[in-house]
Structure 1
Amino acid sequence: AKECVSRGCALQCAMLSPIFRVREFSVEEAVPYTVNFTWEKEPGQPTTSAVFKRGDSIPSTKMLTFYKSDKFSLSADYENDKTANLPAGSLAHIGDFTIGPPIPLPADGSDKAKLKVKVHINLHGILAVESVQAVEETEVEVEPVVAEKSEAAKPAENGEASKDGEAPMEADAAAPAADEAAAPAAPAEPKKSVKVTKKDVPFVASLPGLGADAVTALFTMEKQLKDQDRHIEATNEAKNALEGYVYDMRNKLYGPLSDFIAEDAKPGFSSQLDKMEDWLYDEGEDVSREVYLEKLSELKKIGDPVEERYNEMSSRGPAAESLAAACEGFIRQAESVEKKYEHISAEDKAKVVSECQAAMAWLKEKQGLQETMPKHEVPVLMTHDIVKKLDTVKRVGEATMNKPAPPPPKKEEPAKEAAADGAGAGEEQKAADSEPMDTDGAANAEARAEEGSAKEEGDAPMET
């Protein structure tokens, strides 16, 4: 079986690869065992037929035809002979299928109905009856379709001339052709066709299997087994964690962790680890998960502070360097004379310098105390304290030194002022030009008075 799988995988890889050229082929599943169907052709006369033979391609569908007037049963079985090679202890019987009632009889009065039973084997080799239908075939007459006469066959009316300009035919010559065209066609014989009517027929499948209570009991048992497996896995994980901690801590105790545990406590802790190892392979071989967790907690009460002091020693230096670098950088910015810091007041700059100097003094003091203490004691300078102090310095320094400069005051442009003054003077001049002058009004009045006096003189009669 492994060789078959390997060959198939290699061939599939060659088919998918653009480098190799493989002849086209297909892999088809086959029926593993011959399936026989048995039914009674007549009462007391069982008939058996091999519907699906061993080696046939699957999935496969077959249609079985029966002529029945009442309900009947189909029995499906695997062929159980010496050549079948059924697995030992397996059932040869697949199931029984009861078809009907009712069985719908044809409308023409026949005493038996034609039944089509559709059976199918899927890709997994599982047999099933998919449907049962009663098929009725009746002949019906279909009226023939009479074709209409074309426009070209119609005779010319009223003796009109054709499109070619030819004169119309005489009435005597056109009469026979009109009579022939008007003669009725011979009646066509009606055609017959077959009308197929299908009706679903109910059926019941009786398959060998367990009852509902047995299935429920098996589901419950399966759930219990799964819970048991999970509990065993969690217990093994707890045991492995305890065993790994014993080996790891014992190796580090006289290695990297040697300076971080007191000399008088080191032999006792090492002896406790040895005893725990002996217990694991004796009494602790098969105990509950809670016991392993409790034993591990007892060891960690001693080992965790030692590892914490070792980790603090590794992380304290880089954290202190980061704090010192941040303080020095903010102090340089506060004491700088660059133009981008001119808008910051001297009081704000002094606050930044004071905060940085206080942090540096605190760090120097704590570092001095820490250097005088042995490594196996609780540190006075912790990494998380340094990180907290660094956050405070950054918050004060960045809020002050990154403060944006105020915008410059707005200045009015002299060109705009001059344009505004010129516009005002032009409007005043325009208003003055629109008003009439007094001299012109007086001259016009005198001219009108002279014209009136001359007119009066001309109208008066001349003296003789």
Structure 2
Amino acid sequence: MQDKLEKERNDAKNNVEEYVYDMRDKLHGLLEKYVSESDRDAFSLKLEDTENWLYEDGEDQPKQVYIDKLSDLKKLGQPIQERYTEAELRPKAFEEMGKQIQQYMKFVEAYKMKEEQYEHIDEADVTKVDKLACEAMMWMNSSMNQQNKLNLSVDPAIKIKDIQAKTKELFSACNPIVTKPKPKVELPKEDAAAEQNGPVNGQEQGQKEGTGEGATESADADPASETTEKKPDMDQD
């Protein structure tokens, strides 16, 4: 148990040290654009003080002291890292939303051109898709313009989760309309019954016709028997 506790304490201390080195490098590299100069200088100074502390008073402290020290540092570093992540992923989120808007606008245009595949959809539903797609386009353009006016070193006006939520909302409202299947065409009951019984009635008709031919042949045979009966009269002549 003592060994386990000592390992956890050392791990906590190492986490602080690693964070100090990592953020100190990134503040003058990857994250430089996402923090103001004054905040960068203040944060760099705090990182330097923490590093010095680790090799002096912080050399042998309880695990919780290191955990608290790391938490204090992240309060300054986390917002900078989040601004970087948002800036990196935001264009992709807007791109996905734009693709979906274009898809629904093409659907509306195809309906207006009276394409057969959409003729079963109600006009009111198409109008709804048109309205939602236009509203989403206006929201996206406004958000992009608003964000472009901001410096990268401040928190974004529109976050990725906001864009994704708007995209999901648009999909949930429009997709059931756009993908609505055509209704199945069912034959009237009388026609369906006629199709099913057609071959049977035809067979019965054939049987009836066959019976009629047999009767005709029997009738033709009767005159022959009458001729045979008249031969004695011819002998008398």
TM-score range, shorter chain: 0.7 to 0.9
SS in structure 2 of the partner of residue 413 of structure 1:
helix
| Aligned counterpart in structure 2 of residue 343 of structure 1, from 104, 116, 120 | 120
Query: Could you tell me how far apart the structure 2 residues matched to 1:401 and 1:303 are?
Result: 45
Query: Structure 1 pair 414/392, CA: closer, same or farther in 2 (3 Å)?
Result: closer
> In the alignment, is residue 251 of structure 1 matched against residue 40 of structure 2?
no
TM-score by length of 1: 0.40
Q: CA deviation at 1:415?
A: 9.4
- Structure 1 stretches lacking a partner, 5+ long: 1-226, 427-464
Aligned-pair distance for 1:233? 1.1
SS in 1 for 2:133: helix
| Conserved 8 A contact 1:334-1:401 | no
- TM superposition shift of 1:409: 4.1
1:413 is matched with which residue: 166, 176, 191?
191
Tell which has more relative contact order, 1 or 2 (C-alpha 8 A, sep 6+): 2
| 1:333 maps to which of 104, 107, 129 | 107
Residue 43 of structure 2 aligns with an amino acid whose one-letter code is: F
Q: Which moved more, 1:402-411 or 1:248-257?
A: 402-411
Q: Which residue of 2 aligns with 1:383?
A: 160
Which residues in structure 2 correspond to 1:7-156 (within 5 Å)? none
Instruction: Give the letter for the 1:279 counterpart.
Output: W
Give the alignment partner of residue 264 of structure 1, picking from 32, 38, 47: 38
For 1:239, give the aligned amino acid: K
Q: Which amino acid aligns with 2:182?
A: A
Q: Which one has the bigger strand percentage?
A: 1
Aligned-partner Cα distance in 2 for 1:272–1:251? 14
How many Å separate the matches in 1 of 2:119 and 2:2?
Answer: 74
User: Counterpart of 1:395 in structure 2: which amino acid?
Assistant: S
1:291 aligns to 2:65 (yes or no): yes
Normalized per residue, which structure has more helix? 2
The CA deviation at 1:389 is: 0.7
Q: Does 1:394 align with 2:163?
A: no
Equivalent position amino acid for 2:158 in 1 = L
Deviations 1:76-106 (A, max 9, x none): xxxxxxxxxxxxxxxxxxxxxxxxxxxxxxx
Structure 2 SS opposite 1:377: coil
Larger radius of gyration: 1
Matches within 5 A, 1:311-330: 311-330=85-104
Whichever residue aligns with residue 343 of structure 1, its letter is H
- Offset at residue 335 of structure 1 (A): 2.1
In the other structure, the counterpart of 1:241 is 15
TM-score, scaled relative to structure 2:
0.78
- Which of 129, 138, 147 is the equivalent residue of 1:352? 129
Q: Separation in 1 of the partners of 2:120 and 2:29?
A: 57
Q: Distance in 1 between matches of 2:186 and 2:55?
A: 85
**Counterpart pick for 2:53 among 279, 284, 290:** 279
Q: Which runs of 5+ in 2 are unaligned?
A: 206-237
Q: Distance in 2 between matches of 1:235 and 1:341?
A: 66
Distance 1:414 1:247 in 2: 81
SS at match of 1:335: helix
Contact kept, 8 Å, 1:316 with 1:383, in 2: the verdict is: yes
Instruction: Output the CA distance in 1 between the equivalents of 2:102 and 2:89.
Output: 21
The Cα shift of 1:414 comes to 9.6
Kindly provide the CA deviation profile for residues 97-142 of structure 1, in whole angstroms up to 9, marking residues without a partner as x. Answer: xxxxxxxxxxxxxxxxxxxxxxxxxxxxxxxxxxxxxxxxxxxxxx
Distance apart, 1:401 and its partner CA:
0.9
1:302 lines up with 2:76 in the alignment: yes
What is the number of equivalent residue pairs in this alignment? 196
The residue number in structure 2 matching 1:434 is none
Matches of 1:374 and 1:309, distance apart in 2: 10
- Give aligned-pair identity as a percent: 35
